[in-house]
Each structure stands twice: as structure tokens, then as C-alpha cells.
Amino acid sequence: MQRGKKPYTKLGQRLSSLRQKLNETIPDVSGAVELDNDIIASYENGERRPSEDVLEMLISHFDIKGEEADELWELAGYNNDLA
């Protein structure tokens, strides 16, 4: 594994964009999904990916559906073929 590589950068950028679109802070999101600020920040920094359960909570919190939600599943590397 390459040192300093952040495997989920695109996912993190997307999560950060969704949060900012709602004018929310990291503490706002962390409170809504009941996770530490550092964990949310690590998702946004692309250092970690959320578990499937957490990703589902984030999708619900950001109130996104359809293709936009599918994009997050894909960026996280999960196959969410529910169709």
C-alpha cells in the first residue's frame, strides 16, 4: 500500500459537498448519525470509508435518493444492486 494514499478521496469530497450544501458542520453530521467528529472527518478526508450501515444513515441524513445515492454506494466500493 502506498504511503499517504487516501483510497476514498472521491467519496470524501462528495460527502463534504453534501454536508456543505446543507450548511452543516462536521459536528452537525456527527450528531445526526451518532459518530465522533474525527470519524466523519476521516470519511471526508478519504482516509476511511463508512460501513454499509453508516453509509445508509448518511444517505438518509442528506436526504438523497436514486442516482445520487447510487453514486455514493459506488464511490464507497459497495455493490448496491437493489433494482
SS (H, E, C) 31-76: HHHCCCHHHHHHHHCCCCCCCHHHHHHHHHHCCCCHHHHHHHHHHH
Cα-trace Rg, the chain: 12
Domain ranges of the chain: 9-76
pTM of the model: 0.87
Q: What is the pLDDT at residue 80?
A: 54
Q: What is the pLDDT at residue 5?
A: 75
Q: What is the pLDDT at residue 35?
A: 97
Residues in the chain: 83
Per residue in 34-77, pLDDT (tens digit) is: 999 999 999 999 999 999 999 999 999 999 999 999 999 999 99
Q: What is the pLDDT at residue 4?
A: 65
Per residue in 1-17, pLDDT (tens digit) is: 455 678 899 999 999 99
**9-76: CATH number:** 1.10.260.40
Query: How far apart, in whole angstroms, are the C-alpha atoms of residue 17 and residue 49?
Result: 16
